[in-house]
Amino acid sequence: MLWADRIASEIRDTRTPRDGKTFLIRDEKTISGRVHVGSMRGVAIHGLVAEMLAEQGVANEFRFEIGDFDPFDSIPNYLDVGKFREHLGKPLCAVPSPEPGFANYAEYFGTEFIEVHKKAGFSPNYYRATELYRSGKMDSLIKTALERASDVRKILKEVSGSEKDWSWLPVSVVCEKCGKMMTTRAYDFDGETVGYTCDKHPDDAVSCGHAGRTAPWKGTAKLFWKVDWAAKWVAQGVDIEGGGKDHSTKGGSRDVANHIARKVFNYEPPFDIPYEFFLVGGKKMSSSKGRGSSAKDMCDLFPPQVFRLALIGKDIREQIDVDPAGESVPRLYDWYDELGTGVREGKADDYSRLYTLCEPPKNRAGLTAPWQMRFREVAFIVQMPHLELHKEAGKAKGAELTEDEIQRLEERARYAKFWLATYAPEEFKYELQEETPEVELSQVQKKALTVLADYLQTGERTGEELHLRLHELKTEIPIQPKELFHAIYRIFLNRDSGPKAGWFLAGLPRDFVITRLNEAVQ
């Protein structure tokens, strides 16, 4: 059973919606810059569980928070430090957008992130953290948290080992004078207002030195993260909310939020779905600094179905690892094709189920799996000016392509070209050499190439035939396979490795191959 089916069934069998009707599923992301692809795993997990529940006839809503009410605490390396330094410490909603046309910083990067959700076929109901705070729905919870600040401090100490001094309050006030929240420190709650000073110096954020009192309601202040997390569950009646591995350790933020929910707000925490990381090239989130690691960069590499497979294909307890500059890109396409093959063969197992789930719900009924040419073959052919993709695909399939298959082929060719132009490693880049490259060949290699040229002189050969002939040459000459293939790749591609040689040679004009073989042995 796939993880999403398993989790949906467990929820259906063990829980009832808090409001008696509809399960509320929630996820969030603080938009502190370009969003790392790792955050897509949460979107996909919550989104797919919502879909599975709906499929089982269980009413639910998936709500996603665009976190725009946290401080802008560091300037990403792709932005101009000079332009953004003065905004450090302000809430993200008060930092200007890097590009015109967006209300603020969080909207700019949030919009890019939402576009990725859409492409992957997920469409939660969105809201902004500022909307929730400004609506006043958090006010009674802020009040409780402030009144019970000593309990909050106790939980922080006992659960996570984090010690706060006796005057510490779990809110961060937005300074009325300079508009920053990272520079303020709140103390002394009198039931209606808190005192605060704007004199903290975290990192680069400059404080204004203001001191005053403010009523911390309706978006003038924000609860600190772990308290905020618990309060948001209560404010909205959240039933289901998972979290990444980094939050899910004992004493971690989820553990703390659970304690606060139970002990401070008297609320049973939502059903948890702890999940593993989405690594990029074997590395954990580096806050989206690395090229190719953002949700947008990663989703640009794949058609929707394959991107969705990357996100949902592995169990939540397993790590996902995709390296845009590595073999994991063609391997992901291969995985998708394997699932498709199973569907065409009429299998009804977890793999065919997974293939279906790579489509959004509206496309699932009567889904077929069109034949597809392997991504690495497409990537090779699009680099060979003399090869016609449709014709080669027809040969590989052994039959004419259907409309649907042609469409998929063209789509795949676009993605292959994009990958080759951006991240693809050298071993996937081929350039057919117009002139014979300067190559030192051994006598044995020359002998093998001569025999191969003679063989081609006798008539047109298929890839299969050439493949078999090359294998015969190994014992006939005799020659080591490595030596033989090096010679072939060197004289045609000026490199040591390449695609399957028999089919590669069969795809080239016969006269061209014979001339090249003869030139090379001279």
Residues that bind Zn ion (CB under 5 A): 175, 177-178, 198, 208, 210
Provide the token pair at 159.
């659960």
Residue that the structure tokens 């002998």 belong to: 447
Residue among 185 and 347 whose Cβ is closer to Zn ion: 185
Residue among 3 and 69 whose Cβ is closer to Zn ion: 69
Residue among 96 and 212 whose Cβ is closer to Zn ion: 212
Give 333's Cβ-side CA count (13 Å radius).
25
Provide the token pair at 296.
């947008």
The 10 Å Cβ neighbour count of residue 427 is 12
**Among positive and negative, which fits the CA dihedral 188, 189, 193, 199?**
positive
Residue among 198 and 479 whose Cβ is closer to Zn ion: 198
CA distance 336 to 247: 31
Residue among 199 and 465 whose Cβ is closer to Zn ion: 199
Cis before residue 124, ω within 30 degrees of 0? no
Beta carbon of residue 89, minimum distance to Zn ion (angstroms, whole number): 9
Residue among 174 and 357 whose Cβ is closer to Zn ion: 174
Residue that the structure tokens 């590395």 belong to: 283
Provide the token pair at 465.
């035939």
Residue among 54 and 206 whose Cβ is closer to Zn ion: 206
End-to-end CA distance of the chain: 62
CA distance 292 to 285: 12
Residue among 88 and 312 whose Cβ is closer to Zn ion: 88
Length of the chain counted residue by residue = 522
Residue among 134 and 210 whose Cβ is closer to Zn ion: 210
| Residues 88/76, Cβ–Cβ less than 8 Å | no
Residue among 213 and 474 whose Cβ is closer to Zn ion: 213
Q: In the 8-state DSSP scheme, what is residue 156?
A: I
Q: In this structure, which amino acid lies at residue 462?
A: T
| Residues 216/194, Cβ–Cβ less than 8 Å | yes
Q: Residue 244 burial by CB count (10 A; 0-12/13-18/19+): exposed, middle or buried?
A: buried
Residue among 65 and 70 whose Cβ is closer to Zn ion: 70
CA distance 469 to 451: 10
Beta carbon of residue 182, minimum distance to Zn ion (angstroms, whole number): 10
CA distance 181 to 173: 6
**The pairing of beta strand 125-128 with beta strand 171-173:** unpaired
Residue among 181 and 354 whose Cβ is closer to Zn ion: 181
Provide the token pair at 255.
């553990």
Helix and strand tally (H, E) in the chain?
21, 12
Residue that the structure tokens 């690691």 belong to: 293
Q: Which of 269, 272, 259, 263 is nearest to 234 (CA)?
A: 269
Beta carbon of residue 175, minimum distance to Zn ion (angstroms, whole number): 3
| Residues 276/247, Cβ–Cβ less than 8 Å | no
**Among positive and negative, which fits the CA dihedral 10, 15, 16, 19?**
negative
Q: Which residues of 20-50 are buried (b: 16+ CB within 10 A; e: fewer)?
A: eeebbbbbbbbbbbbbbbbbbbbbbbbbbbb
Beta carbon of residue 231, minimum distance to Zn ion (angstroms, whole number): 25
Beta carbon of residue 108, minimum distance to Zn ion (angstroms, whole number): 25
Spell out the SS3 assignment of 108-126: HHHHHHHHHHHHCCCCCEE
Beta carbon of residue 200, minimum distance to Zn ion (angstroms, whole number): 10
Residue among 140 and 220 whose Cβ is closer to Zn ion: 220
